Chain A
Amino acid sequence: MRISRRTRIAGVALIAVAGLTLTACGSDSGSKADDNVITVYGTNPQNPLIPTATNEVGGGDPLNNIFAGLVAYNTDGSIVNEVADSIEPNEDSTVWTVTLKDGWTFSDGSAITANSFVDAWNYGADISNGHLGAYFFNPIKGTDEAGNTKEGEKISGLVVKDDKTFEISLKAPESDFPLRLGYSSYFPLPEVAYGSDGKITEEFGNAPIGNGPYQLTKSGWEKNKQISLEPNAKYSGVHEPKNDGLVFKFYAGGGTDAAYTDVQAGNLDVLDQVPPSAVTTFESDSNIQAYNEPGSMFASVTIPARLDHFAGEEGNLRRKAISMSINREQIAEKIYNNTRTAAVDFTSPVLEGWTEEIPGNEVVEHNPTEAKKLWAEADKISKWTGTFALGYNSDGAGHKEWTEAASNQIAENLGIKAEAKAYATFDEMRGQVTDRTIKTAFRTGWQADYPSMLNYLGALYGTGAGSNDGDYSNKKFDELIAKAASTTGDDRFKLITEAQSILMEDLPALPLFYYNSTAAVATDVKGFDFNWQAKPEYYQLTKK
């Protein structure tokens, strides 16, 4: 009796374990897909695949391939009309008239009209939908600071003239407004996206129908696993796919280490950011093709004027001294193996109109003697006390290294105490930056939303701008930026250079690096090229 009971318990345990193992066997995958399908690094999208609801790369990369906008970006960041036939400004660039090309359809065959755009934008801006990409509509008349409209309201600056024409009115002149229009928030949506209640349906968010170079395959978005795309036969734009499809293979937790190993072993074709652990070795790794070139991301240190000793004339001297005591080239080379480039301005060298000839930019050169002199001058105004701390978030890879190196250089060259101060998470540090309680200098970075120098300067240093973390304000600078925004042609670049030279004098932030774009690509992949956003030109990749 006793024996049988015992056997039974053991049996139950055994069956439980066996059961778990057997269910697991069911998820084996099928055979390998076509040879010319490219697998690329991705992460599981955090939001439904709706253009205005997505604000992170996990969803953004697939969306940029599923949809096409009024304009498309060329590899160098210049634009070419895609769905738009023409985008014409009025005299002062405040009203833009958009005309659409004939014959464009979504992948399900439905026609693209002016309403496909206007309805999608109105939906994205409506605050009750809570879409995070609304911020992009903020230049358009009728939206608030964050680009939102009130519940149920439409954007008053958008007027549909006829099926193929609509008008966009802006709050202020913006000569390079069309540069924005290739961004995902401005993509059109087909009518089937909306359910009977007027809301975008869950099915659409899981399997969107777009007008871009690719469409979802039958298996489409497999949560936490991958997104598979195939060429869209109805697409007739400028990014005609040369491969037979893309598979965004997800790496959980965003870990690029595992992805890098996969490229080495031939399990993944393209990884568009080399992990910090491989930065010093990837260019000599014979298992992969390595890419390393300057990109559009800009890194700086912001020292708010409200910190002790950093206001007025004294603060200005100290900022310059700190800037000159940092040896940017050395950090870029020793720590990042030249996957970063020392910055000489406040934008990025990949942009149209960029120049390193900015009056006053000698403050970003390493000059310890001058730095010491300036610091001593500031000490005459008010004696320095305490420690100079440089805040960084330790959850993002690669920040600790340079903040520590820079702190050491500051300490050594100025003869003061300096240290890197870690914040556990990005949102912890940014939370303190946003509510202005942070008591140290801190790292700042900017990845432009569209390829324009004004998107760096206006957004970061304009009086009252949303990302002006140091509360910088300079009337002359604001005027120059506004003037540049309403000027067309090469004249605006002169104004931008002038504006930048004001920043070099005031140093609301210390320019540090341009991040290089790095990629590890499988040896049999051809046609790899970075676009201005440091993303691969996916449509060009082939494997044959």
Chain B
Amino acid sequence: MWWYVAKRLLQTIPVFLGATLILFTMLKLRPGDPILNLVGDKPISDALRAQLTEQYALDDPIFVQWLHWVGNALTLDFGETFAGQPVIELISQTFPVTVVLAMMALAIDAVLGIVIGTYAGLKRNGIFDSSMLVMSLILLSVPIFVVGFVMQLVFGVKLGWTSPTVGGDWTVSSLILPAIVLAIANFAYTIRLTRTSVAENLTADHVRTARAKGLSEGKVVRRHVLRNSLVPVVTYIGINLGSLMAGAVITESIFNIPGVGNAAYTAIMKGETPTVVTIVTFMVMVYVLMSLLVDLIYAVLDPRIRYA
């Protein structure tokens, strides 16, 4: 199995190179002039412009800029933002809160989604199942920023149960509301997936055999139904981390969370290519490692899946 892990880790190298090259090319297509942002649209002398252009390597061909960036990245030097802050420092300041937020959303999504989905699957076509189907449909169709603003207004401003924004002094408890908002869309999907999967497995041969052996209903569900049903659900939840990070950009701006989504947004608006590429690359890497973790969890759920 360790060989498998090593192999998967080696695969991240082409992913890293490919993703960064694509990002560089895409950002090059962004119109506009980053220097103008930098000087705030005031007149600037040609000499200073030339100096800044050179400092941020804005004139080099995109491939050269990319090579330059990759070369530096190998020594963990990700350059500086236009403001002169090392990008790695920016990431170490902004990444933890985003990761915690995404993990909390993931936990809410997984726990509630699986519990409710399983129950709905066991009692399918009952009142609980039908109402969950309707509810999940509603949750899926309302955009995340609407949910965000409404929950912020109700729980933060009107009821005052929690602070409506997070700010620099973030704590785990202050992230609960944003995490719920972030989890909501995915959570509805997890319910539906679990429900269908459980319902399907309930009629499988091995479940009938288990019942025939006289096993208690609880044991049948836990050992024989759930375990098999969870394989697709785990895949979905794992892959979700990517969309959670993307969703975090919106959630972070609604709740003023000083996370990586906000940092990426600001950098894109200013045309800071190296900063954007570095941040997004970190996101890509988290995603890659998460899907590796998902694959490893398969083996726990289903012993027939083994890696060599």
Q: Report A's interface with B, CB cutoff 8 A.
A: 2, 5-6, 9-10, 13, 17, 20-21, 23-25, 27-29, 45-48, 55-56, 127-128, 130, 132, 134-135, 144-148, 222-226, 249-255, 257-259, 261-262, 264-265, 267, 287, 395, 423-428, 430-431, 434, 466-467
Check if B217 is an interface residue, CB within 8 A of chain A: no
Bound together, the chains give a CA A208 to CA B171 distance in angstroms of 29
Q: Are A267 and B165 in contact (CB under 8 A)?
A: yes
Q: Are A252 and B256 in contact (CB under 8 A)?
A: yes
Check if B266 is an interface residue, CB within 8 A of chain A: yes
Number of residue pairs across A and B with beta carbons under 8 Å?
A: 183
- Assuming the contacts A223-B93, A261-B152, asked whether A127 and B47 have C-beta atoms less than 8 A apart, the reply is yes
- Of B89, B104, B165, the most chain A CB neighbours within 10 A belong to B165
Residue of A nearest to B163 (CB): A267
Bound together, the chains give a CA A9 to CA B39 distance in angstroms of 52
Bound together, the chains give a CA A9 to CA B4 distance in angstroms of 14
Q: Are B83 and A250 in contact (CB under 8 A)?
A: no
- Of A47, A146, A466, the most chain B CB neighbours within 10 A belong to A146
Give every chain B residue within 8 A of A395 (Cβ-Cβ): 269
One of B33, B51, B90, B269 near A430 (C-beta < 8 A) = B33
Give every chain A residue within 8 A of B254 (Cβ-Cβ): 257-258
- Assuming the contacts A267-B163, A431-B32, asked whether A45 and B99 have C-beta atoms less than 8 A apart, the reply is no
Q: Are B168 and A250 in contact (CB under 8 A)?
A: yes
Residue of B nearest to A18 (CB): B103
Kindly list the 3 A-B residue pairs having the minimum CB-CB distance in the complex, ordered from nearest. Answer: A225-B168, A466-B43, A428-B32
- Assuming the contacts A224-B94, A252-B262, asked whether A46 and B256 have C-beta atoms less than 8 A apart, the reply is no
- Of A17, A259, A424, the most chain B CB neighbours within 10 A belong to A17
- Assuming the contacts A2-B303, A20-B96, A127-B51, asked whether A132 and B42 have C-beta atoms less than 8 A apart, the reply is yes
Give every chain B residue within 8 A of A10 (Cβ-Cβ): 297, 300
Give every chain B residue within 8 A of A262 (Cβ-Cβ): 164-165, 167, 256
A-B pairs with beta carbons under 8 Å apart, 15 shown: A2-B303, A5-B1, A21-B103, A28-B171, A127-B47, A132-B39, A135-B44, A249-B167, A252-B256, A252-B266, A262-B164, A264-B157, A425-B31, A426-B37, A466-B43
Q: Are B266 and A253 in contact (CB under 8 A)?
A: yes
Bound together, the chains give a CA A224 to CA B99 distance in angstroms of 17
Q: Are B258 and A148 in contact (CB under 8 A)?
A: no
Residue of A nearest to B262 (CB): A252
Q: Are B297 and A253 in contact (CB under 8 A)?
A: no
Q: Report B's interface with A, CB cutoff 8 A.
A: 1, 30-34, 36-45, 47-48, 51-52, 55, 82-85, 89-90, 93-94, 96-97, 99-100, 103-104, 107, 152-153, 156-157, 160, 163-165, 167-172, 252-259, 262-263, 265-266, 269, 271, 293, 296-297, 299-300, 303
**A462 → chain B, closest Cβ, in Å?**
12
Bound together, the chains give a CA A258 to CA B266 distance in angstroms of 16
- Assuming the contacts A28-B171, A222-B168, asked whether A252 and B100 have C-beta atoms less than 8 A apart, the reply is no
Q: Are A253 and B253 in contact (CB under 8 A)?
A: yes
One of A9, A20, A265 near B297 (C-beta < 8 A) = A9
Give every chain A residue within 8 A of B100 (Cβ-Cβ): 20-21, 24
Q: Are B40 and A427 in contact (CB under 8 A)?
A: no
Q: Are B36 and A434 in contact (CB under 8 A)?
A: yes
Q: Are A130 and B168 in contact (CB under 8 A)?
A: no
Bound together, the chains give a CA A177 to CA B32 distance in angstroms of 35
Bound together, the chains give a CA A251 to CA B43 distance in angstroms of 28
Q: Are A225 and B45 in contact (CB under 8 A)?
A: no
Give every chain B residue within 8 A of A9 (Cβ-Cβ): 296-297, 299-300
Q: Are A17 and B103 in contact (CB under 8 A)?
A: yes
Q: Are A148 and B45 in contact (CB under 8 A)?
A: yes
Bound together, the chains give a CA A430 to CA B293 distance in angstroms of 47
Q: Are B165 and A132 in contact (CB under 8 A)?
A: no
Bound together, the chains give a CA A265 to CA B161 distance in angstroms of 11
Give every chain B residue within 8 A of A127 (Cβ-Cβ): 45, 47-48, 51
Bound together, the chains give a CA A475 to CA B171 distance in angstroms of 63
Give every chain A residue within 8 A of B1 (Cβ-Cβ): 5
Q: Are A252 and B43 in contact (CB under 8 A)?
A: no
Residue of B nearest to A48 (CB): B84
